[in-house]
Protein backbone atom coordinates (compact mmCIF):
# COMPACT_ATOMS: atom_id res chain seq x y z
CA UNK A 1 0.00 0.00 0.00
CA UNK A 2 1.36 3.29 -1.07
CA UNK A 3 2.17 5.57 1.80
CA UNK A 4 2.33 9.28 0.95
CA UNK A 5 5.42 11.14 2.06
CA UNK A 6 5.09 13.11 5.19
CA UNK A 7 3.91 16.65 4.81
CA UNK A 8 6.67 19.24 4.97
CA UNK A 9 6.92 20.96 8.26
CA UNK A 10 6.21 24.67 8.23
CA UNK A 11 9.25 26.89 8.09
CA UNK A 12 10.24 28.39 11.30
CA UNK A 13 10.13 32.13 11.41
CA UNK A 14 13.92 32.24 11.41
CA UNK A 15 14.20 30.19 8.21
CA UNK A 16 12.54 32.69 5.88
CA UNK A 17 14.74 35.34 4.20
CA UNK A 18 14.14 38.52 6.19
CA UNK A 19 12.82 41.39 4.14
CA UNK A 20 13.86 43.74 6.95
CA UNK A 21 17.49 42.48 6.68
CA UNK A 22 17.56 43.16 2.95
CA UNK A 23 16.30 46.65 3.57
CA UNK A 24 18.91 47.22 6.26
CA UNK A 25 21.77 46.15 3.98
CA UNK A 26 20.50 48.50 1.32
CA UNK A 27 20.40 51.33 3.80
CA UNK A 28 23.95 50.55 4.94
CA UNK A 29 25.23 50.58 1.37
CA UNK A 30 23.46 53.87 0.72
CA UNK A 31 24.81 55.34 3.95
CA UNK A 32 28.33 54.19 3.04
CA UNK A 33 28.00 55.80 -0.38
CA UNK A 34 26.83 59.04 1.19
CA UNK A 35 29.69 59.01 3.67
CA UNK A 36 32.16 58.46 0.84
CA UNK A 37 30.72 61.37 -1.11
CA UNK A 38 30.84 63.60 1.93
CA UNK A 39 34.46 62.57 2.55
CA UNK A 40 35.41 63.34 -1.04
CA UNK A 41 33.57 66.64 -0.79
CA UNK A 42 35.45 67.58 2.35
CA UNK A 43 38.78 66.68 0.74
CA UNK A 44 37.92 68.67 -2.35
CA UNK A 45 37.00 71.70 -0.25
CA UNK A 46 40.29 71.39 1.62
CA UNK A 47 42.11 71.18 -1.69
CA UNK A 48 40.35 74.32 -2.90
CA UNK A 49 41.42 76.11 0.28
CA UNK A 50 44.97 74.76 0.41
CA UNK A 51 45.95 75.30 -3.24
CA UNK A 52 45.86 79.13 -3.09
CA UNK A 53 47.57 79.11 0.30
CA UNK A 54 50.39 76.89 -0.95
CA UNK A 55 50.79 79.05 -4.05
CA UNK A 56 51.05 82.19 -1.91
CA UNK A 57 53.54 80.59 0.48
CA UNK A 58 55.75 79.26 -2.34
CA UNK A 59 55.70 82.62 -4.15
CA UNK A 60 56.55 84.57 -0.99
CA UNK A 61 59.37 82.15 -0.13
CA UNK A 62 60.81 82.42 -3.64
CA UNK A 63 60.62 86.21 -3.58
CA UNK A 64 62.21 86.34 -0.14
CA UNK A 65 65.02 84.06 -1.32
CA UNK A 66 65.70 86.34 -4.29
CA UNK A 67 65.70 89.46 -2.14
CA UNK A 68 68.10 87.81 0.31
CA UNK A 69 70.48 87.08 -2.56
CA UNK A 70 70.27 90.72 -3.63
CA UNK A 71 71.33 92.06 -0.23
CA UNK A 72 73.61 89.29 0.98
CA UNK A 73 76.73 91.52 0.99
CA UNK A 74 75.11 94.10 3.28
CA UNK A 75 76.48 92.44 6.39
CA UNK A 76 79.92 93.71 5.45
CA UNK A 77 79.13 97.15 6.81
CA UNK A 78 77.76 98.46 10.06
CA UNK A 79 76.54 101.83 11.23
CA UNK A 80 77.89 102.24 14.73
CA UNK A 81 77.09 104.95 17.21
CA UNK A 82 80.04 107.12 18.21
CA UNK A 83 79.04 109.86 20.59
CA UNK A 84 76.10 111.80 19.16
CA UNK A 85 76.80 111.24 15.49
CA UNK A 86 76.89 107.85 13.78
CA UNK A 87 79.84 106.70 11.70
CA UNK A 88 80.26 103.85 9.26
CA UNK A 89 82.97 101.23 9.41
CA UNK A 90 83.82 98.61 6.85
CA UNK A 91 84.43 95.14 8.17
CA UNK A 92 87.09 92.90 6.74
CA UNK A 93 85.99 90.74 3.86
CA UNK A 94 88.12 87.68 3.26
CA UNK A 95 90.13 87.45 1.08
CA UNK A 96 89.76 91.14 0.27
CA UNK A 97 91.66 93.58 2.52
CA UNK A 98 89.94 95.88 4.95
CA UNK A 99 89.67 99.51 3.88
CA UNK A 100 92.37 101.52 5.61
CA UNK A 101 91.86 104.79 3.72
CA UNK A 102 91.23 107.85 5.84
CA UNK A 103 88.52 110.33 4.98
CA UNK A 104 91.00 112.91 3.77
CA UNK A 105 92.84 110.74 1.28
CA UNK A 106 90.30 108.07 0.32
CA UNK A 107 88.78 110.21 -2.37
CA UNK A 108 92.03 111.14 -4.04
CA UNK A 109 94.06 107.93 -3.79
CA UNK A 110 94.71 105.80 -6.82
CA UNK A 111 96.61 102.53 -7.28
CA UNK A 112 99.70 104.71 -7.70
CA UNK A 113 101.15 106.97 -5.00
CA UNK A 114 100.33 110.06 -7.07
CA UNK A 115 98.49 112.66 -4.99
CA UNK A 116 99.18 115.90 -6.84
CA UNK A 117 96.39 117.80 -8.48
CA UNK A 118 95.73 117.15 -12.14
CA UNK A 119 97.19 119.92 -14.31
CA UNK A 120 94.82 122.25 -16.07
CA UNK A 121 95.32 121.57 -19.75
CA UNK A 122 94.98 124.20 -22.43
CA UNK A 123 92.43 121.84 -23.98
CA UNK A 124 89.90 123.32 -21.56
CA UNK A 125 90.05 126.46 -23.73
CA UNK A 126 89.52 124.45 -26.91
CA UNK A 127 86.01 123.48 -28.05
CA UNK A 128 85.29 119.98 -26.84
CA UNK A 129 84.68 118.60 -30.33
CA UNK A 130 88.11 119.85 -31.47
CA UNK A 131 90.01 118.18 -28.66
CA UNK A 132 91.60 114.83 -29.51
CA UNK A 133 90.15 111.88 -27.63
CA UNK A 134 92.81 110.73 -25.14
CA UNK A 135 93.56 107.03 -25.03
CA UNK A 136 93.00 104.95 -21.92
CA UNK A 137 96.05 105.43 -19.65
CA UNK A 138 98.44 102.49 -19.63
CA UNK A 139 99.78 103.65 -16.25
CA UNK A 140 97.95 105.32 -13.37
CA UNK A 141 97.40 108.95 -14.34
CA UNK A 142 97.47 111.97 -12.05
CA UNK A 143 94.03 112.26 -10.51
CA UNK A 144 92.41 115.53 -9.48
CA UNK A 145 92.68 116.35 -5.79
CA UNK A 146 90.16 116.32 -4.32
CA UNK A 147 88.46 113.81 -6.57
CA UNK A 148 84.94 114.90 -7.67
CA UNK A 149 82.26 113.69 -5.30
CA UNK A 150 78.46 113.56 -5.34
CA UNK A 151 76.75 116.60 -3.80
CA UNK A 152 79.98 118.61 -4.01
CA UNK A 153 77.83 121.68 -4.55
CA UNK A 154 75.26 121.50 -1.79
CA UNK A 155 72.58 119.20 -0.43
CA UNK A 156 69.03 120.50 -0.24
CA UNK A 157 67.90 120.52 3.37
CA UNK A 158 64.24 119.70 2.75
CA UNK A 159 64.28 116.57 4.90
CA UNK A 160 61.26 115.41 6.86
CA UNK A 161 63.33 113.55 9.45
CA UNK A 162 66.58 114.11 11.30
CA UNK A 163 67.60 110.50 10.62
CA UNK A 164 67.57 111.09 6.86
CA UNK A 165 69.51 114.35 7.17
CA UNK A 166 72.14 112.59 9.30
CA UNK A 167 72.30 109.73 6.82
CA UNK A 168 73.24 112.00 3.91
CA UNK A 169 75.76 113.93 6.00
CA UNK A 170 77.49 110.75 7.14
CA UNK A 171 77.34 108.89 3.82
CA UNK A 172 78.92 111.67 1.77
CA UNK A 173 81.75 112.08 4.30
CA UNK A 174 82.50 108.40 4.90
CA UNK A 175 85.56 106.67 3.48
CA UNK A 176 83.68 103.55 2.27
CA UNK A 177 81.52 105.81 0.09
CA UNK A 178 84.06 108.35 -1.17
CA UNK A 179 86.77 105.79 -1.95
CA UNK A 180 84.46 103.94 -4.37
CA UNK A 181 83.95 107.02 -6.61
CA UNK A 182 80.53 105.86 -7.83
CA UNK A 183 80.02 106.91 -11.45
CA UNK A 184 76.25 106.60 -11.07
CA UNK A 185 76.24 109.38 -8.48
CA UNK A 186 78.94 111.48 -10.13
CA UNK A 187 76.90 111.46 -13.33
CA UNK A 188 73.71 112.41 -11.52
CA UNK A 189 74.79 114.56 -8.57
CA UNK A 190 78.29 116.04 -9.00
CA UNK A 191 78.86 119.62 -10.13
CA UNK A 192 82.62 119.10 -10.51
CA UNK A 193 82.07 116.07 -12.70
CA UNK A 194 79.83 118.06 -15.05
CA UNK A 195 82.28 120.97 -15.13
CA UNK A 196 85.12 118.60 -16.05
CA UNK A 197 83.43 117.74 -19.33
CA UNK A 198 85.02 120.75 -21.03
CA UNK A 199 88.45 119.13 -20.61
CA UNK A 200 88.79 115.67 -22.16
CA UNK A 201 92.17 115.03 -20.54
CA UNK A 202 90.73 115.70 -17.11
CA UNK A 203 87.59 113.71 -17.87
CA UNK A 204 89.72 110.79 -19.06
CA UNK A 205 91.56 110.75 -15.72
CA UNK A 206 88.30 110.93 -13.78
CA UNK A 207 86.80 107.98 -15.67
CA UNK A 208 90.00 106.02 -15.09
CA UNK A 209 89.69 106.85 -11.39
CA UNK A 210 86.11 105.57 -11.17
CA UNK A 211 87.12 102.32 -12.86
CA UNK A 212 90.28 101.80 -10.80
CA UNK A 213 89.84 102.24 -7.07
CA UNK A 214 91.94 101.05 -4.14
CA UNK A 215 88.90 99.21 -2.85
CA UNK A 216 88.07 96.06 -4.85
CA UNK A 217 85.04 96.38 -7.09
CA UNK A 218 83.17 93.65 -5.20
CA UNK A 219 83.66 95.55 -1.95
CA UNK A 220 82.30 98.74 -3.51
CA UNK A 221 79.25 96.83 -4.74
CA UNK A 222 78.62 95.69 -1.17
CA UNK A 223 79.18 99.21 0.17
CA UNK A 224 76.69 100.80 -2.23
CA UNK A 225 74.12 98.08 -1.54
CA UNK A 226 74.48 98.72 2.18
CA UNK A 227 74.05 102.47 1.76
CA UNK A 228 70.94 101.85 -0.37
CA UNK A 229 69.48 99.58 2.28
CA UNK A 230 70.27 102.10 5.02
CA UNK A 231 68.71 104.92 3.02
CA UNK A 232 65.48 102.95 2.72
CA UNK A 233 65.35 102.40 6.47
CA UNK A 234 66.38 105.90 7.60
CA UNK A 235 64.57 107.97 4.95
CA UNK A 236 61.21 106.19 4.93
CA UNK A 237 59.25 109.44 5.31
CA UNK A 238 61.15 111.11 2.48
CA UNK A 239 60.75 108.15 0.14
CA UNK A 240 57.04 107.92 0.93
CA UNK A 241 56.68 111.63 0.15
CA UNK A 242 58.70 111.16 -3.08
CA UNK A 243 61.42 113.54 -1.92
CA UNK A 244 63.49 114.15 -5.05
CA UNK A 245 66.87 113.90 -3.32
CA UNK A 246 66.04 110.67 -1.50
CA UNK A 247 64.40 109.01 -4.52
CA UNK A 248 67.18 109.95 -6.95
CA UNK A 249 69.95 108.97 -4.55
CA UNK A 250 68.40 105.55 -3.97
CA UNK A 251 68.09 105.08 -7.72
CA UNK A 252 71.74 106.04 -8.24
CA UNK A 253 73.00 103.80 -5.44
CA UNK A 254 71.10 100.81 -6.81
CA UNK A 255 72.40 101.51 -10.33
CA UNK A 256 76.03 101.50 -9.15
CA UNK A 257 77.03 98.21 -10.79
CA UNK A 258 75.42 98.68 -14.18
CA UNK A 259 76.63 102.29 -14.51
CA UNK A 260 80.13 101.29 -13.45
CA UNK A 261 80.11 98.76 -16.28
CA UNK A 262 79.01 101.25 -18.94
CA UNK A 263 81.39 103.97 -17.68
CA UNK A 264 84.36 101.64 -18.04
CA UNK A 265 83.45 100.46 -21.54
CA UNK A 266 86.30 100.92 -24.03
CA UNK A 267 86.20 101.41 -27.77
CA UNK A 268 88.68 98.76 -28.96
CA UNK A 269 89.14 100.49 -32.31
CA UNK A 270 90.63 103.62 -30.72
CA UNK A 271 91.53 102.38 -27.21
CA UNK A 272 89.48 105.19 -25.69
CA UNK A 273 86.71 105.27 -23.11
CA UNK A 274 83.28 105.20 -24.70
CA UNK A 275 82.07 107.85 -22.28
CA UNK A 276 84.88 110.25 -23.26
CA UNK A 277 83.95 109.73 -26.91
CA UNK A 278 80.32 110.48 -26.09
CA UNK A 279 81.28 113.72 -24.33
CA UNK A 280 83.41 114.72 -27.32
CA UNK A 281 80.67 113.98 -29.86
CA UNK A 282 78.70 117.09 -30.92
CA UNK A 283 75.65 114.82 -31.17
CA UNK A 284 74.50 114.47 -27.54
CA UNK A 285 72.52 111.28 -28.16
CA UNK A 286 75.51 109.09 -27.26
CA UNK A 287 75.66 110.78 -23.85
CA UNK A 288 71.92 110.29 -23.29
CA UNK A 289 72.36 106.51 -23.14
CA UNK A 290 74.27 106.84 -19.86
CA UNK A 291 71.29 108.42 -18.10
CA UNK A 292 68.84 105.55 -18.61
CA UNK A 293 69.55 103.77 -15.27
CA UNK A 294 68.79 106.95 -13.30
CA UNK A 295 65.48 107.62 -15.04
CA UNK A 296 66.48 109.80 -18.01
CA UNK A 297 65.22 108.31 -21.25
CA UNK A 298 66.48 108.95 -24.77
CA UNK A 299 64.62 112.08 -26.01
CA UNK A 300 62.24 111.48 -28.90
CA UNK A 301 63.93 114.29 -30.83
CA UNK A 302 67.39 112.72 -30.58
CA UNK A 303 69.11 111.08 -33.52
CA UNK A 304 71.22 108.11 -32.36
CA UNK A 305 74.62 107.72 -34.00
CA UNK A 306 74.30 103.92 -33.86
CA UNK A 307 77.85 103.66 -32.51
CA UNK A 308 79.28 100.36 -31.35
CA UNK A 309 79.66 101.85 -27.87
CA UNK A 310 75.95 102.69 -27.62
CA UNK A 311 75.09 99.21 -28.85
CA UNK A 312 77.29 97.69 -26.13
CA UNK A 313 75.64 99.92 -23.53
CA UNK A 314 72.18 98.73 -24.53
CA UNK A 315 73.46 95.15 -24.35
CA UNK A 316 74.63 95.71 -20.77
CA UNK A 317 71.25 97.20 -19.88
CA UNK A 318 69.24 94.33 -21.37
CA UNK A 319 71.45 91.78 -19.59
CA UNK A 320 70.92 93.59 -16.28
CA UNK A 321 67.15 93.66 -16.78
CA UNK A 322 67.20 89.94 -17.53
CA UNK A 323 69.13 89.29 -14.31
CA UNK A 324 66.68 88.30 -11.52
CA UNK A 325 68.95 89.88 -8.90
CA UNK A 326 69.61 93.23 -10.59
CA UNK A 327 66.24 93.79 -12.26
CA UNK A 328 64.19 94.69 -9.13
CA UNK A 329 66.78 97.31 -8.16
CA UNK A 330 66.90 99.08 -11.53
CA UNK A 331 63.66 101.04 -11.27
CA UNK A 332 65.02 103.92 -13.34
CA UNK A 333 66.17 101.63 -16.14
CA UNK A 334 62.85 99.78 -16.16
CA UNK A 335 61.09 103.10 -16.78
CA UNK A 336 63.37 104.25 -19.60
CA UNK A 337 64.70 101.20 -21.41
CA UNK A 338 61.82 100.19 -23.69
CA UNK A 339 61.18 103.60 -25.26
CA UNK A 340 64.92 104.16 -25.71
CA UNK A 341 65.39 100.72 -27.24
CA UNK A 342 62.49 101.29 -29.64
CA UNK A 343 63.96 104.62 -30.79
CA UNK A 344 67.39 103.02 -31.20
CA UNK A 345 65.98 100.17 -33.26
CA UNK A 346 64.07 102.65 -35.42
CA UNK A 347 67.32 104.36 -36.44
CA UNK A 348 69.87 101.56 -36.12
CA UNK A 349 68.05 98.32 -36.94
CA UNK A 350 66.58 95.43 -34.98
CA UNK A 351 69.96 94.00 -33.98
CA UNK A 352 71.03 97.19 -32.22
CA UNK A 353 69.01 96.64 -29.04
CA UNK A 354 66.79 93.98 -27.52
CA UNK A 355 63.19 95.10 -27.15
CA UNK A 356 60.29 93.86 -24.98
CA UNK A 357 62.69 93.22 -22.12
CA UNK A 358 60.78 95.03 -19.40
CA UNK A 359 57.36 93.81 -20.53
CA UNK A 360 58.51 90.20 -20.71
CA UNK A 361 57.83 87.77 -17.88
CA UNK A 362 59.96 88.53 -14.87
CA UNK A 363 62.87 86.07 -14.90
CA UNK A 364 62.61 85.58 -11.14
CA UNK A 365 59.44 83.61 -11.76
CA UNK A 366 61.32 81.01 -13.80
CA UNK A 367 62.49 78.90 -10.90
CA UNK A 368 59.36 79.30 -8.73
CA UNK A 369 57.17 78.39 -11.72
CA UNK A 370 58.64 74.89 -11.65
CA UNK A 371 57.85 74.69 -7.96
CA UNK A 372 54.30 75.89 -8.53
CA UNK A 373 53.79 73.41 -11.36
CA UNK A 374 55.01 70.56 -9.20
CA UNK A 375 52.79 71.68 -6.33
CA UNK A 376 49.72 71.76 -8.55
CA UNK A 377 50.58 68.32 -9.94
CA UNK A 378 50.90 66.82 -6.46
CA UNK A 379 47.64 68.36 -5.26
CA UNK A 380 45.83 67.21 -8.40
CA UNK A 381 47.14 63.66 -7.98
CA UNK A 382 46.17 63.67 -4.30
CA UNK A 383 42.64 64.80 -5.17
CA UNK A 384 42.24 62.08 -7.83
CA UNK A 385 43.48 59.37 -5.47
CA UNK A 386 41.17 60.63 -2.75
CA UNK A 387 38.23 60.47 -5.15
CA UNK A 388 39.15 56.94 -6.23
CA UNK A 389 39.33 55.76 -2.64
pLDDT in tens, 9-32: 554 544 444 555 555 555 555 556
Q: Would you say residue 260 lies in a domain? A: no
**Same domain for 224 and 196:** yes
pLDDT of residue 67: 42
**Same domain for 128 and 174:** yes
Q: Would you say residue 353 lies in a domain? A: no
pLDDT of residue 226: 98
Contact 189, 66 (CB under 8 A): no
**Same domain for 52 and 166:** no
pLDDT at 251 over 90: yes
Rounded Cα distance between 57 and 45, Å, is: 19
Rounded Cα distance between 78 and 90, Å, is: 7
**Same domain for 218 and 82:** yes
**Same domain for 83 and 63:** no
Domain boundary among 233, 250, 267: 250
pLDDT of residue 37: 63
- Mean pLDDT score of the chain: 77
**Same domain for 204 and 60:** no
Domain boundary among 205, 230, 250: 250
Contact 167, 231 (CB under 8 A): yes
Dihedral over alpha carbons 102, 105, 107, 112 (to 10 degrees)? -120
Q: Which structural domain, as residue segments, surrounds residue 52?
A: 35-68+368-388
pLDDT tens figures, 82-102: 333 333 333 333 333 333 333
**Same domain for 105 and 56:** no
User: Structurally, how many domains does the chain consist of?
Assistant: 2
**Same domain for 197 and 87:** yes
Query: What percent of the chain clears pLDDT 70, i.e. is strictly above it?
Result: 60
Amino acid sequence: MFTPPPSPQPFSSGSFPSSSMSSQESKERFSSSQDSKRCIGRRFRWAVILVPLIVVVVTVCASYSTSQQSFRPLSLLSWRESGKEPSWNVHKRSPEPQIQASLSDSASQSPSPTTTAAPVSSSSQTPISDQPAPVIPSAPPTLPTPFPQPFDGSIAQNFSSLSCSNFFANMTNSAPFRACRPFSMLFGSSTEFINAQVNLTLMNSIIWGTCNTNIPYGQCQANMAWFASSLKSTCTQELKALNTLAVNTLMELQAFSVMHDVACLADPASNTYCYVNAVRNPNPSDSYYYGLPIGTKLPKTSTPTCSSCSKSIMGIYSSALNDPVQRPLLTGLQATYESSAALSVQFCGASFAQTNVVSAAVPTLGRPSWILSGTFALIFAWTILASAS
